[in-house]
């Protein structure tokens, strides 16, 4: 088992670069923080390249660490772990995970959440986690969406990326495929032609598009939907957070499935 005590160590400097998308894609690795996410990755048979832990991690999860291959364990100082962490208070353990091959095959059954240019990492992660909880078949990220290997997205997903397919594809192609299969596609928009979501009949197969936090769904996608729907605002708030709105709609569609 290795031991690294200095933040100036060459390996630590390289691992810190994984907080940048460009470097993650180049190295095909990403960072997860905290025992819960590492355990979820292990259960999903994700390839764990390295586990770095400080004395707190050793104290709290000694039994788990003792069961791991020693060649992938690195004990580090508090300062080293803090330099790699993006949390205000590091949880004592991080892991370097090998990126899986991207999921490309879509089974066109059940409910699918399509995200159009959703840029906030917390929103993307929360919607993937909610899709997992609600029982959807998968999530498709179109152009402009936050990278799911962003640390904030990973924290918000809480391991749900290991539980259901998360697919990166241009939505133009995906929408065409749903339409050919006559699977209803719903968009969200406040306009005279949109109807309240409770009036939408629940179906086993469907696609739900959620859009950018400030601008909503791209007009060209709204024109391709079977029906645009809205959630009524009863108070003085101008609108709902996109992740909250997505949660309401996903549970509406899945309540009888």
CATH at residue 21? 3.30.1330.30
User: Taking residues 231-257, what's their average pLDDT?
Assistant: 91
Residues 130 and 246 in one domain: yes
Question: Which neighbouring-strand residues pair with 70?
Answer: none
Model pTM score: 0.93
Confidence of residue 257 (pLDDT cuts 50, 70, 90): low
Asked whether residue 91 falls in the same domain as residue 207, the answer is no
254: confidence class by pLDDT, cuts 50, 70, 90: very high
User: Looking at the structure, do residues 198 and 92 belong to the same domain, yes or no?
Assistant: no
Spatial distance between the Cα atoms of 175 and 185, rounded to a whole number of angstroms: 8
Q: 84 and 118 share a domain?
A: no
- Reading the block at residue 171, the tokens are 């939505």
Question: What pLDDT score was predicted for residue 36?
Answer: 95
Q: Last residue of some domain: 64, 98, 132?
A: 98
Kindly report the CATH number assigned to the domain that includes residue 194.
3.40.1280.10
Last residue of a domain, one of 98, 133, 165: 98
Label residue 191 by pLDDT band (50, 70, 90).
confident
- Does 130 lie in the same domain as 243? yes
Domain match, 127 and 158 both: yes
- Count of structural domains within the chain: 2
Same domain, 165 and 204: yes
CA atoms of 87 and 242, how far apart (whole Å): 24
pLDDT tens readout for residues 60-117: 999 999 999 999 999 999 999 999 999 888 999 999 999 988 766 788 899 999 999 9
49-58, 166-175, 197-206, range with greatest mean pLDDT: 49-58
Is 216 within 8 Å of 117 (Cβ atoms)?
no
In angstroms, rounded to a whole number, what is the distance separating the alpha carbons of residues 254 and 232? 19
Q: Are residues 123 and 235 in the same domain?
A: yes
| Cα angle value 232/238/240 (rounded, 5°) | 60
In a domain, 104, yes or no: no
Same domain, 166 and 48: no
Residue-number span of the structural domain to which 34 is assigned: 2-98
Question: Among 98, 128, 161, which residue terminates a domain?
Answer: 98
Is residue 106 situated within a structural domain?
A: no
Average confidence (pLDDT) over 16-37? 96
Q: Does 17 fall in a domain? A: yes
pLDDT in tens, 147-180: 999 999 999 999 999 999 999 999 999 999 999 9
105 falls within a domain: no
Kindly state the percentage of the chain with pLDDT values over 70. 98
pLDDT value of position 131: 98
**Partners of 230 in beta bridges:** 196
In 3D space, the residue among 8, 14, 247, 3 whose CA is nearest the CA of residue 135 turns out to be 247
Paired sense of beta strands 185-188 and 227-230, if any: parallel
């Amino acid at each position: 088992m290795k031991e690294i005590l200095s933040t100036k160590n060459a390996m630590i400097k390289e691992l810190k670069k994984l907080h940048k998308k460009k470097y993650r894609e180049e190295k095909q690795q990403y960072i997860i923080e905290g025992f819960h996410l590492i355990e979820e990755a292990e259960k999903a048979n994700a390839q764990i390249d390295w586990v770095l832990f400080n004395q707190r991690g050793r104290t709290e999860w000694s039994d788990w660490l003792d069961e791991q291959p020693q060649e992938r364990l690195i004990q580090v100082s508090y300062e080293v772990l803090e330099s790699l962490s993006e949390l205000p208070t590091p949880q004592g353990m991080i892991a370097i995970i090998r990126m899986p091959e991207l999921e490309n095959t879509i089974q066109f059954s059940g409910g699918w959440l399509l995200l159009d240019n959703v840029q906030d990492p917390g929103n993307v992660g929360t919607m993937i986690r909610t899709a997992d909880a609600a029982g959807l078949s998968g999530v498709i990220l179109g152009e402009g969406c936050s990278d799911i290997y962003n640390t904030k997205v990973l924290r918000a997903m809480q391991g749900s990326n290991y539980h259901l397919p998360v697919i990166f594809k241009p939505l133009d192609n995906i929408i065409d495929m749903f339409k050919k299969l006559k699977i209803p596609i719903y968009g969200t928009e406040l306009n005279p032609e949109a109807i309240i979501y409770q009036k939408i009949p629940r179906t086993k197969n469907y696609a739900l598009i959620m859009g950018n936090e400030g601008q909503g769904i791209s007009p060209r996608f709204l024109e391709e939907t079977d029906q645009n729907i809205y959630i009524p605002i009863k108070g003085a708030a101008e609108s709902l957070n996109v992740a909250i709105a997505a949660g309401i709609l996903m549970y509406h569609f899945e309540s009888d499935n």
